[in-house]
Amino acid sequence: MTIIEKILAAHSKYDVVKPGDIIDVEIDARVARDFGGPNVVQNLEQNGLKVHDASKTFFTFDTNPTGSDQKYATNQHICRKFARANNIKIYDIDNGIGTHTLMDEGLAYPGSTAISTDSHANILGAICSFGQGMGDRDIAIAWAKGSVWFKVPKSVKLTLTGKRPENISAKDIVLNLLNEFGANTLLGYSIEIYGEEMDKLSLDERITIASMATEMGGIILLFPPNDEVMDFCRAASGKNLEKIRADENAVYEKEIEIDLSSFEQMVSLPGKPHGTVNIIEAQKEKIDSAFIGSCTNGRIEDLRTVAKILDGKKVAPGVVLKIVPTTDKIWQQALDEGLIKIFKTAGAMVSNAGCAGCAAGQVGQNGPGEITISTGNRNFPGKQGKGEVYLASPAIVAASAIAGYITTVNKIPDVPAEFSAKDFERKIEKAEEQIAEQTSKPANVEGKVWLIEEDNIDTDMIFHNKYLAITDINEMGQYAFDNLAGYEDFATKVKPTDIIVTGKNFGSGSSRQQAVDCFKALGVSVILAESYGSIYERNAINAAMPIMNYKSLSDIDIANGDTIKINFETGEVVNLKNNKSTKIMAFSDVQLEIYQNGGLF
């Protein structure tokens, strides 16, 4: 068997498992974060379930360890109360990233299994442990039962040959692998990584590479443990652990060799982690901010690298450098070694340990138009804010923060780049070009009716406040009407161009823009209501989401599922089922202008 098959078999009722087998897997560490934890609690309580084994059950509060957001603070308190009642250990806001805690506290170790509401739980492959991110239902079942079902994945044996170039960091290695495999070549595989240079990698370096298995589409990236890793895990866990290895006759779906000596320093271009290029292609790109941290690059070795580069230098004028260690132990170690002083003297902001910008809950976020270079593992639009994010190694991020633009350590200038009025003018010109490319929108739309005969549908029913941390409009659609009784599955059934017809005071309640944008994300072509909440009406008009008022639609006998045609300029509505027509309130000149412009801006 391969490594993944050995681990899963050892945690199942079977002696041997093979790819495609669906088995119940006993879970050694069962974790919920402040991001998803309240849903786990809710699932347990609503289904009358009890905690199977509190000694293997944990909360980790890492997405908002500052407690600076009211929703996060509320969620954390829900989890704390449940933990007190069930004798569950909490690694609270003073602790750091949960997956790192599992390794540092010996809760995960070679050959063990762990699941978390963290999609990067497969980072545990760094110590040859099976870690998986799962949804709140899976986690709740694991808390109640001690196991979850899992499909045994196929395995890939990846061997890196040749010598590692001196300037190539662990982050560069994984960015080169992303360049090689993209986001889906290894989709659904368990990847075992081998090679003489790979065996030399420190634990911190293994963590960096393993943390981005998710970005490659892999189930997990497993490193056979070396002596350093074994010594660390034995000390952390207090267990007499043995190295885990694949059998000599293990069967792999693919065996791949790549020449490590050909690897280059790389960055990921904004928008997708696998959109990697040689650093030369991104050099001299002016930056507004820099971020060092995340589960990928906030370990002590990363911080030492950054301190060596920053020592005696200053962050470029106008650039913000944010540094967030992964765990409090690492924060304290950095303090003891004098690294924090170097960071602060250089002009960096240092926050307490946690996930930082990834979960939109701490620091590291950027704003629209902002250019950031980051050591994170994801740079999807909206993931770390509404600006553009480049991904790179800690060394490149530190060098870029000093230079004021993307560069390497050996090309840090004597005089940093500064912002000028021309930079602003360039951004304005870029925006004007984008506006000029917009085409006029149709004045007539046609679509199937969703007849929702309810009044006072408020914004919490439309887009519940538990999802407010979501900033990417493309992710909002799936939660539309999630909290409206009888329409919880709306997002899975609605089709682009569909039309919502509803009652009075639609969109009352809070001012959240998401309650408008979720319908835009789904492609809903227009909403007809007798009246709207005043803030909602403005939000919709300003976002170019078509909404219209009607006094009565009785003339056209609308039924659920009918197809109707609407003219925004004239207000004419035609039921194509019976060809009956009526007039409702047409767009005002202002609404029409904003609609044709694609929004208020």
Per-residue model confidence (pLDDT) at position 423: 60
Rounded Cα–Cα distance for residues 216 and 185 (Å): 8
Q: Which residue has the higher pLDDT, 15 or 431?
A: 15
Per-residue model confidence (pLDDT) at position 84: 96
Q: Are 503 and 529 in contact (CB under 8 A)?
A: yes
pLDDT digits (tens, 9 = 90+) for 192-245: 999 999 999 999 999 999 999 988 888 999 999 999 999 999 999 999 999 999
What does the block give as tokens for 572? 């004419």
Per-residue model confidence (pLDDT) at position 387: 86
Per-residue model confidence (pLDDT) at position 500: 98
pLDDT digits (tens, 9 = 90+) for 362-400: 676 788 888 999 998 888 777 777 789 999 999 999 999
When the pLDDT of each residue in the chain is averaged and rounded to a whole number, the result is 91
Q: Would you say residue 71 has pLDDT above 90?
A: no
What is the set of domains in the chain, with CATH numbers? Answer: 3-261 (3.30.499.10), 266-431 (3.30.499.10), 444-597 (3.20.19.10)
Rounded Cα–Cα distance for residues 529 and 505 (Å): 8
Per-residue model confidence (pLDDT) at position 374: 93
Q: Would you say residue 284 has pLDDT above 70?
A: yes
Q: Which residue has the higher pLDDT, 35 or 572?
A: 572
Mean pLDDT over 433-439 rounds to: 55
What does the block give as tokens for 443? 């004045």
Phi, psi of 541, deg, nearest 5: -60, -45
Q: Which of 90-104, 253-267, 378-392 has the lowest mean pLDDT?
A: 378-392
**Given pLDDT bands bounded at 50, 70 and 90, which one contains residue 13?**
very high
Per-residue model confidence (pLDDT) at position 429: 65
**Given pLDDT bands bounded at 50, 70 and 90, which one contains residue 34?**
confident
| Half-sphere exposure of residue 49: CA atoms within 13 angstroms, side-chain side | 19
CA distances from 158 to 57, 125, 435 (A): 33, 14, 46
Contacts 24+ apart (CB under 8 A), 567-575: 567/443, 567/444, 568/443, 568/444, 568/445, 568/526, 568/592, 568/595, 569/443, 573/528
Q: Would you say residue 434 has pLDDT above 60?
A: no
SS3 assignment, position 161: strand
Q: Would you say residue 281 has pLDDT above 90?
A: no
- Torsional sign, CA 330, 61, 133, 111: positive
Cβ-based neighbours of 157, under 8 Å, separated by 6 or more: 2, 192, 194, 246, 250, 252, 254, 255, 256
Q: Which of 156-165, 237-246, 272-281 has the lowest mean pLDDT?
A: 272-281
Per-residue model confidence (pLDDT) at position 378: 81
Per-residue model confidence (pLDDT) at position 359: 62
Rounded Cα–Cα distance for residues 481 and 515 (Å): 9
Pairing of strands 147-151, 22-26: antiparallel
* pTM, 2 dp: 0.72
pLDDT digits (tens, 9 = 90+) for 101-155: 999 999 999 999 999 988 889 999 999 999 998 888 889 999 999 999 999 999 9
Query: Percent helix, strand, coil in the chain (nearest 5)?
Result: 35, 20, 45
Q: Which residue has the higher pLDDT, 471 or 336?
A: 336
Percent of the chain surpassing pLDDT 90: 72
Phi, psi of 193, deg, nearest 5: -115, 130
CA distances from 475 to 122, 160, 519, 520, 522 (A): 23, 36, 11, 11, 10
Phi, psi of 106, deg, nearest 5: 75, 20
In one-letter notation, the amino acid at residue 106 is G
Residue of 575, 486, 500, 562 lying closest to 536 (CA atoms): 500
Residue of 66, 52, 59 lying closest to 35 (CA atoms): 59
Q: Would you say residue 495 has pLDDT above 70?
A: yes
pLDDT digits (tens, 9 = 90+) for 312-324: 999 999 999 999 9
Per-residue model confidence (pLDDT) at position 426: 62
Q: Are 226 and 194 in contact (CB under 8 A)?
A: no
Per-residue model confidence (pLDDT) at position 176: 95
CA distances from 592 to 116, 440, 446, 571 (A): 48, 11, 17, 12
Per-residue model confidence (pLDDT) at position 480: 96
Q: Which of 20-29, 346-355, 375-384 has the lowest mean pLDDT?
A: 375-384
- Give the count of beta carbons closer than 10 Å to the beta carbon of residue 83: 21
**Given pLDDT bands bounded at 50, 70 and 90, which one contains residue 283?**
confident
Q: Would you say residue 436 has pLDDT above 60?
A: no
Q: Would you say residue 424 has pLDDT above 80?
A: no
Phi-psi region of 203 (alpha: psi -120 to 50; beta: other; left: phi over 0): alpha
